[in-house]
C-alpha cells in the first residue's frame, strides 16, 4: 500500500511539473525587443540578443529565436537594429524634485563647450526675460569644460546681461551677481554676509558681484531662495520636462537627496502631482533633508509621526514615488562642505555641538526604523561620524547595523574607515563631483591625493555596497555619461587626469554601480538593476555601444529608446513615432523652451 501511495505521489508531481512547464511555454510577452546586444548585467555579465516583457517585468532574455516563441498576435515587437540594451540607469544621488521645480527657469550650461557660447546664451536669455524675472545659471558646469579653460570676468557677465538681474552659481563655492542683481537685492558695501562667507570687494572697496562661500554655502543658498519663483503650473510643467530630459540619457530611476532650501512636502508638489496621476516616467525614491538649523530633531520627529518609509524594496508600482528615510543632511552642525576653493572645515574645531546633535538624530532614526544617509566629503569627517554611529550601534544592541544607512560623497575616506563602515553594514554613494571640481582639488590637496579620491576600487574590492550618481543639478550636471566616463577614465569633464589606473573601473564595473549598485541605496536591489527574469522592465537602447566605443565617446552617449515598467517613456531617431506626447514648455520665456537642457555645442 505504501508503495502504491508513493507511486501515486510521484505521478502527481510529474504531472504538475508538466503542467507548469506547459504554462511557462505558453506564456506570452506584452513587449519584445529583438536583434539587440542585451547586457543583462547579472553576475555572469551575460550578453544576449533579445528581451521579452510581461506585466512590467522581464519575462525572459535570450536569443532572438528563443524570445520569438513568446510572441502573440498583440505582442509589440521592436527591432533594436543591433544596438546595445542596458538596464535603466539609476542615479543614487540626484536632486530630482528640486531639479524639476526649478528646471524651466534656468539656463543650463551643462555640456556647453565654449565660454563664448555660454555668454551668448546669457545675452539671448536676457533679451527675452520679462521684467520681474531673472536670468539664472544654477550649477552643473565647470570652467574647465570650456575650450577657453577659464571663468568669465564680471565685466563679461555685465556686458552679456545688461540691466536684467542675473545670478550664476558655480558649484557650492562661488556665486556671481551682475550689477542689476546687486541693485534688485539691495546688496551694497554695507551689507553683512552670513558667517563663513563674503561679498567680495575690489581694491576700490566696491562690490565685485562675487559671492564667496568660505566654506559655508548659506550665502549661495540665500541668493537662490531670494529669486522669484515660478507658478505651480510652471513648476509641474518643469518637472515633466526635467524627467523627460533624464529619460533621454537612459535614466529610469533616481534617488532624491533633498537639499537646502527645499522643504517637504511643500516643494515636492510638482513631483507628487505626477505621482498621484500615475504619470511618473521615472522611479523616484526620496530622503528628507531638514531645513531648520537647530530644530532638525523636531522636524524628523514630525516627519516620522506622519510618514511611513518603504520596506524590503516595495514601491508603488503605478508610479514609483516613495519615501526612503532621512538625509543627506541630518544635522546642519554635523556636515562638511565640498568647497575645494576654501580650506577644509573640521567638525571638532568649527562646530562644538555637532556630536550631540548628530547622535540624537541618528538614534531617533534607528529607534524608529528609518534608514539614513549623510553627507561627508572628507575622511576626517567620516572618521568622527563613525565614532558616533558605533556608539549608537552599541547602545542599541546592533540595531543601527541592521538598518540601511550610507555615506554620501566620501572623496577622501580612509581605508581603515571603509573597514568600519563595512562592520556596521553601511554603504557609500559616490558622485562625479570630482569630474567638475577636480582641478581645484588638486590645486589645494595635490595630485597624489586625487589619485584615490574617492577610493572607489577599494570600496568594490572590499565588498562594500556602492551606488553611483552625479549630485546634479547644482554641483554637477545631471547627465550620467560624463560621470560614467569619469569612473572609467579617472578624468574630469575638462579631461584632466585625476584617478590613477588602479582606481579606474572597467565599463562593466562602472555600469554596475549605476544600476544594481544604486538600487541598494533605496533597498531595491532585488527588484531592479539587472535584466534578469522577474526584475522590473526598466531599460534603454543606447545611441552607440557603451562597451566598445572609444572612451572619449562615452560622454556623448544617449538613449534612443527608454522603457520604464515595460512602457516607452522616451523615443528618438528611428523610434521617434513612439515618443509619448509632452506638454509645451511654459512660461514662454523659459530657457528650456529656447535652448533645451543639456547642451552639445
Nearest CA among 543, 575, 539, 574 for reference residue 559: 543
**Greatest CA separation found in the chain?**
108
**Whether the predicted pLDDT of 9 surpasses 60:** no
Instruction: Compute how many other C-beta atoms are within 10 angstroms of the C-beta atom of residue 383.
Output: 16
Contact 478, 246 (CB under 8 A): yes
pLDDT at 423: 98
Q: Give the residue with greater pLDDT, 301 vs 337.
A: 301
Phi and psi (nearest 5°) for 22?
-65, -40
Positive or negative: CA dihedral 128, 131, 132, 137 = positive
Q: How close are the terminal C-alpha atoms of the chain, in Å?
A: 83
Flag whether the pTM goes above 0.85: yes
3-state DSSP assignment of residue 111: coil
Render pLDDT for 75-91 as a digit per residue (tens, 0 to 9). 999 999 999 999 999 99
**Among residues of the chain, what percentage have pLDDT more than 90?**
88
Q: How far apart are CA 274 and CA 286, in angstroms?
A: 15
Distance of CA 331 to the CA centre of its chain: 21
Write phi, then psi, for 161 (nearest 5 degrees).
Answer: -110, -20
* Cβ neighbour number for residue 74 with a 10 Å cutoff: 7
Using one digit for the tens of pLDDT, what is the confidence trace for 371-386? 999 999 999 999 999 9
Q: What is the mean pLDDT of residues 448-471?
A: 98
Across the chain, what does the average pLDDT equal? Answer: 93
Where along the chain do its domains lie? 97-229, 245-578
Residue 196 pLDDT class (50, 70, 90 cuts): confident
For residue 598, pLDDT over 70 is answered with yes
CA torsion through residues 230, 231, 234, 240, sign: positive
β pairing state of 283-288 and 251-256: parallel
Which secondary structure element, helix H or strand E, spans residue 14, and what is its range? helix 2-26
Strand-pair category, 197-201 with 174-177: unpaired
Instruction: Give the pLDDT of residue 8.
Output: 47
266 pLDDT band (50/70/90 cuts)? very high
What is the pLDDT, as a whole number, of residue 11? 46
DSSP 471-526: -BTTTB-S-HHHHHHHHHH-B-TT--B-S-GGGPPPHHHHHHIIIIIHHHHTT-TT
Place 601 in a pLDDT band, splitting at 50, 70 and 90: confident
Q: Which of 215-224, 241-250, 301-310 has the highest mean pLDDT?
A: 241-250
Instruction: Give 124-165 pLDDT, tens digit per residue.
Output: 999 999 999 999 999 999 999 999 999 999 999 999 999 999
Q: Which residues pair with 37 in a beta bridge?
A: 84
Residue 498 has a CB neighbour count (10 Å cut-off) of 23
With 0-12 CB in 10 A as exposed, 13-18 as middle and 19+ as buried, what is 228?
Answer: exposed
pLDDT at 503: 98
pLDDT digits (tens, 9 = 90+) for 208-225: 999 999 878 889 988 999
| Number of residues that make up the chain | 601
Cα separation, 388 vs 339, in Å, equals: 24
Provide the pLDDT for residue 217.
87
The pLDDT of residue 14: 52
User: What is the pLDDT confidence band of residue 532, given thresholds at 50, 70 and 90?
Assistant: very high
413, 428 in Cβ contact below 8 A? yes
CATH superfamily of 245-578: Metal-dependent hydrolases (3.20.20.140)
Asked whether the predicted pLDDT for residue 258 surpasses 50, the reply is yes
Cell numbers describing residue 1: 500500500
For 415, the grid coordinates are 581605508
Rounded distance, CA 358 to CA 363, Å?
A: 8
Report how far residue 89's alpha carbon sits from residue 539's, in angstroms, rounded to the nearest whole number: 8
> Coil, helix or strand for 463?
coil
Beta strands in 235-280, from DSSP E residues, in sequence order: 251-256
Judged on CB neighbours under 10 Å (0-12, 13-18, 19+), 451 is middle
What is the β-pairing status of strands 321-326 and 57-62? unpaired
Amino acid at each position: 500500500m505504501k508503495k502504491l501511495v508513493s507511486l501515486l505521489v510521484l505521478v502527481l508531481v510529474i504531472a504538475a511539473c508538466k503542467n507548469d512547464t506547459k504554462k511557462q511555454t505558453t506564456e506570452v510577452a506584452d513587449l519584445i525587443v529583438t536583434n539587440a546586444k542585451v547586457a543583462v548585467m547579472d553576475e555572469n555579465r551575460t550578453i544576449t540578443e533579445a528581451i521579452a516583457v510581461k506585466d512590467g517585468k522581464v519575462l525572459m532574455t535570450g536569443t532572438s529565436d528563443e524570445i520569438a516563441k513568446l510572441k502573440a498576435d498583440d505582442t509589440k515587437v521592436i527591432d533594436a537594429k543591433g544596438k546595445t540594451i542596458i538596464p535603466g540607469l539609476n542615479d543614487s544621488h540626484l536632486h530630482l524634485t528640486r531639479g524639476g521645480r526649478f528646471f524651466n527657469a534656468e539656463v543650463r550650461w551643462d555640456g556647453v563647450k565654449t565660454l563664448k557660447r555660454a555668454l551668448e546664451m546669457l545675452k539671448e536669455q536676457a533679451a527675452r526675460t520679462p521684467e520681474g524675472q531673472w536670468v539664472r545659471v544654477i550649477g552643473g558646469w565647470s570652467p574647465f569644460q570650456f575650450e577657453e579653460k577659464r571663468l568669465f570676468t564680471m565685466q563679461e557677465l555685465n556686458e552679456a546681461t545688461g540691466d536684467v538681474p542675473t545670478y550664476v552659481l558655480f558649484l557650492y563655492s562661488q556665486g556671481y551677481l551682475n550689477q542689476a542683481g546687486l541693485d534688485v537685492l539691495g546688496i551694497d558695501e554695507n551689507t553683512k554676509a552670513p558667517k563663513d562667507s563674503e561679498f567680495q570687494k575690489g581694491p576700490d572697496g566696491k562690490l565685485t558681484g562675487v559671492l564667496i562661500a568660505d566654506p559655508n554655502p548659506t550665502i549661495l543658498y540665500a541668493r537662490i531662495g531670494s529669486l522669484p519663483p515660478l507658478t505651480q503650473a510652471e513648476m509641474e510643467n518643469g518637472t515633466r520636462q526635467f524627467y523627460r530630459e533624464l529619460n533621454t540619457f537612459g535614466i529610469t530611476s533616481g534617488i532624491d537627496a533633498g537639499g537646502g532650501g527645499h522643504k517637504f512636502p511643500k516643494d515636492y508638489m510638482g513631483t507628487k502631482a505626477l505621482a498621484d496621476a500615475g504619470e511618473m516616467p521615472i522611479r523616484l525614491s526620496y530622503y528628507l533633508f531638514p531645513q531648520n538649523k537647530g530644530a532638525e530633531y523636531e522636524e524628523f520627529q514630525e516627519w516620522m509621526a506622519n510618514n511611513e518609509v518603504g520596506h524590503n524594496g516595495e514601491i508603488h508600482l503605478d508610479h514609483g514615488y516613495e519615501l526612503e528615510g532621512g538625509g543627506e543632511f541630518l544635522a546642519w552642525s554635523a556636515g562638511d562642505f565640498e568647497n575645494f576653493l576654501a580650506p577644509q572645515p573640521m567638525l571638532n574645531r568649527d562646530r562644538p555641538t555637532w556630536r550631540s546633535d548628530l547622535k540624537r538624530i541618528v538614534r531617533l532614526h534607528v529607534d524608529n526604523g528609518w534608514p539614513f544617509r549623510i553627507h561627508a566629503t572628507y575622511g576626517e569627517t567620516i572618521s568622527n561620524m563613525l565614532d558616533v554611529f558605533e556608539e549608537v550601534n552599541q547602545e542599541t544592541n546592533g540595531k543601527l547595523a541592521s538598518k540601511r544607512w550610507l555615506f554620501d560623497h566620501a572623496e577622501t575616506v580612509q581605508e581603515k574607515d571603509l573597514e568600519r563602515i563595512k562592520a556596521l553594514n553601511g554603504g557609500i554613494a559616490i558622485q562625479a563631483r570630482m569630474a567638475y571640481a577636480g582641478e581645484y582639488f588638486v590645486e589645494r590637496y595635490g595630485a597624489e591625493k586625487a589619485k584615490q579620491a574617492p577610493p572607489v576600487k577599494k570600496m568594490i574590492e572590499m565588498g562594500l555596497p556602492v551606488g553611483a550618481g552625479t549630485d546634479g543639478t547644482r554641483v554637477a550636471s545631471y547627465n550620467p555619461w560624463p560621470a560614467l566616463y569619469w569612473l572609467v577614465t579617472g578624468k574630469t569633464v575638462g579631461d584632466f587626469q585625476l584617478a590613477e589606473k588602479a582606481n579606474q573601473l572597467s565599463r562593466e564595473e562602472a555600469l554596475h554601480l549605476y544600476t544594481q549598485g544604486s538600487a541598494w541605496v533605496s533597498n531595491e536591489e532585488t527588484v531592479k538593476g539587472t535584466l534578469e527574469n522577474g526584475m522590473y522592465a526598466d531599460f534603454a537602447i543606447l545611441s552607440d555601444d557603451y562597451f566598445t566605443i572609444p572612451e572619449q565617446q562615452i560622454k556623448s552617449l544617449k538613449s534612443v529608446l527608454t522603457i520604464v515598467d515595460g512602457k516607452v517613456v522616451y523615443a528618438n531617431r528611428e523610434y521617434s513615432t513612439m515618443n509619448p506626447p509632452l506638454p509645451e514648455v511654459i512660461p514662454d520665456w523659459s530657457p528650456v523652451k529656447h535652448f533645451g537642457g543639456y547642451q552639445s555645442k
